[in-house]
Amino acid sequence: MWGDLLNEIVQTRGERAVFRCIRRTPGISRVELCERTELTSAAVTQIVKRFMAAGLVREIPAKNAIAGNIGRTRIGLAPVDSAYFSLGIVVRRHDIQMGLVAPSGKVAHAWRMVAPTIERVASTLEDVVEAAGEIPIVAVGVGLPTFAVPWATASDITATIANRFDCPVYSFHNGSYAALAEEWFMEEEVPSRFFYVFIGSGIGGASVLRAGNEPPVITCIEAGHVGIDPHGERCFCGNRGCVELMASPASLEAHYHINIDLGIEGVKGLSERTKEAVGESLAYGLVSITNVLNIHYVVLGGYPPEVLDYLYGNTLRKTLAGYRNPFGHPLTIVTSRLGDLAGVQGAALGAQDQIGTVVDRNAVLSYR
C-alpha cells in the first residue's frame, strides 16, 4: 500500500527534487526549496502540501533560525522518519549486512551475519519485518560485489529477498551504493567530483559526480585492477602487478594472516614496513586513476575509519604529500565518516531515490 502511495505522490521530476531536498536537509525552508529546485513558490507550496497531507513531511524550526529572535520563527521542513523504512542490504565475501533506514538516511536497526547462507538470510529477513513493526518497508536496495560469493549466487540472493517483500527491489554494485551514501552526508563545500575507494574483500571504486538536487552520477571503476608493477605476480584478472594483489584485504589475509573483519584488533599484527608497502601500492594506483579522471578528492570507505587509517590512510597521505596532478591540484585523502554501514545506507537511499520512477513495482531490477 505505502509503496503505491509513494509512487503516486512522488512521481514528477519536481516532486522528486523537493522530496530529496527535504530528506537530505532537515529544516530547509520553502524559500530555499524554490532556490534549489528552481520551481516556483506556488509549485513548491502545492507539492509540500501534498507531502504533508500524506504524512511524509512535517514542519520544524528552519535550520538557520536563530534562537531568541523576536517575531515569527522561520518554518522549515523535515521528513517524517516514522513514515516508512527502506531496507539496505550489502553482500560481501564472508558476511552480509542489513539495515532498516529512515527517509532521512538514519539507520534505525542493523544486522550482520558472518558466514551467511540463503537459509540464514531468509530467517533474518523475518527479523527485519518484525523490527519494522507497523512501519512499512517501501523499497529494498541490494549491494552486490563484482565477484561471486562462495555461499550463493547473486540471483539466488535477490530472488530470496524479492520473494519476501511486496515492494521494488534494486541491485547495484556495493561500492557504488556506499559512494552514494557518502555523497548524501557530505559537506557542500567538498568538490562536485570525487573518487570513492571501497575497501571490501578486494578494492573497488566509484567516480561520483554530485548533481545538486538530483541523485549523483556514479560510475563503477575497478580500482584494484590498476597495474603498478608489470613484472609482478599475475592477478586472477589476467594482468600482472595489480593493486589488488598488493593492498587488498584478501591478499593481506592470505600473506599475513590478519582478519580485517575483526576491526583494528584483527590488523595490528602488520609491521610498519608492510603497511608502508601496502599504502604506497594503493597510492600509485590512485594516482593513475585520478590523473585520468582529473579528480583530486578521494574518500576511503568500506571498513571503520580507524582500520582504514591504520592500514592505508597514514601512508597514503605521507606518500602523496607534495604531489600535484597534471592540473596542479593536490590529492586530498579522507576516510569515510559513515564506517562500514555506508553500503547499507547507500543501498536504502538508492532504493528511496527510485521511488516514483518504476512502472513494474515488483520487478527485480539489476544495474550491474
CA 180 to chain centre: 4
The CATH code of the domain that includes 145 is 3.30.420.40
CA dist 287 and 295 (Å) reads 10
Residue 132 in any domain: the answer is yes
In which band, very low, low, confident or very high, does the pLDDT at 290 lie, cut at 50, 70 and 90? very high
Given phi > 0 = left and psi -120 to 50 = alpha, else beta, which region is 71? left
Residue 161 in any domain: the answer is yes
Q: Looking at residue 334, what is its pLDDT?
A: 92
Residue 93 in any domain: the answer is yes
Residue 146 in any domain: the answer is yes
Q: Looking at residue 355, what is its pLDDT?
A: 64
In which band, very low, low, confident or very high, does the pLDDT at 366 lie, cut at 50, 70 and 90? very low
* Same domain for 325 and 190: yes
Predicted TM-score of the model (pTM): 0.88
CA-nearest of 293, 168, 134 to 218 is: 293
The CATH code of the domain that includes 13 is 1.10.10.10
Proportion of the chain above pLDDT 90, given as a percent: 54
* Same domain for 258 and 325: yes
Q: Looking at residue 346, what is its pLDDT?
A: 95
* Same domain for 93 and 58: no
Dihedral angle at the C-alpha atoms of 246, 340, 260, 92, nearest 10 degrees?
-80
- The pair phi, psi for residue 159, each rounded to 5°, is -65, -40
* Same domain for 157 and 29: no
Dihedral angle at the C-alpha atoms of 249, 255, 259, 263, nearest 10 degrees?
-60
* Same domain for 291 and 266: yes
pLDDT greater at residue 22 or residue 356: 22
Residue 228 in any domain: the answer is yes
For residue 357, pLDDT beyond 90 = no
Q: Looking at residue 340, what is its pLDDT?
A: 83
Query: End of a domain among 22, 46, 79?
Result: 79
Q: What is the mean pLDDT of the chain?
A: 87
* pLDDT tens for each residue of 153-209: 888 999 999 999 988 899 888 889 999 999 999 887 788 999 999 998 789 899 999
* Same domain for 34 and 139: no
Q: Number of structural domains, the chain?
A: 3
* pLDDT tens for each residue of 1-51: 455 667 677 778 889 889 999 999 999 999 999 999 999 999 999 999 999
In the block, cell 551504493 appears at 177
Residue 181 in any domain: the answer is no
* pLDDT tens for each residue of 122-139: 999 999 999 999 999 999
Residue 243 in any domain: the answer is yes
For residue 244, pLDDT beyond 60 = yes
Dihedral angle at the C-alpha atoms of 346, 347, 353, 356, nearest 10 degrees?
-170
Residue 311 in any domain: the answer is yes
Proportion of the chain above pLDDT 70, given as a percent: 92
Q: Which three cell numbers stand for residue 218?
A: 556514479
pLDDT greater at residue 357 or residue 364: 357
Domain around 18: 2-79
| Contact predicate 189/212, CB 8 Å | no
CA dist 146 and 173 (Å) reads 7
* Same domain for 96 and 143: yes
List of E strands, the chain: 57-61, 75-79, 85-91, 95-101, 107-114, 137-144, 169-173, 193-199, 203-211, 214-221, 297-301, 332-335, 364-366
* Same domain for 330 and 194: yes
Query: End of a domain among 79, 105, 137?
Result: 79
Q: Looking at residue 2, what is its pLDDT?
A: 52
* Same domain for 312 and 198: yes
For residue 310, pLDDT beyond 50 = yes
For residue 63, pLDDT beyond 80 = no
* pLDDT tens for each residue of 68-109: 444 456 899 999 999 999 999 999 877 899 999 999 999 999
How many Cβ atoms sit within 10 Å of the Cβ of residue 103? 26
Mean pLDDT of 282-311: 92
Residue 93 CB burial class (10 angstroms; 0-12, 13-18, ≥19): middle
DSSP-derived 3-state class of residue 210: strand
In which band, very low, low, confident or very high, does the pLDDT at 367 lie, cut at 50, 70 and 90? very low
* Same domain for 74 and 18: yes
* Same domain for 206 and 128: no
* Same domain for 316 and 240: yes
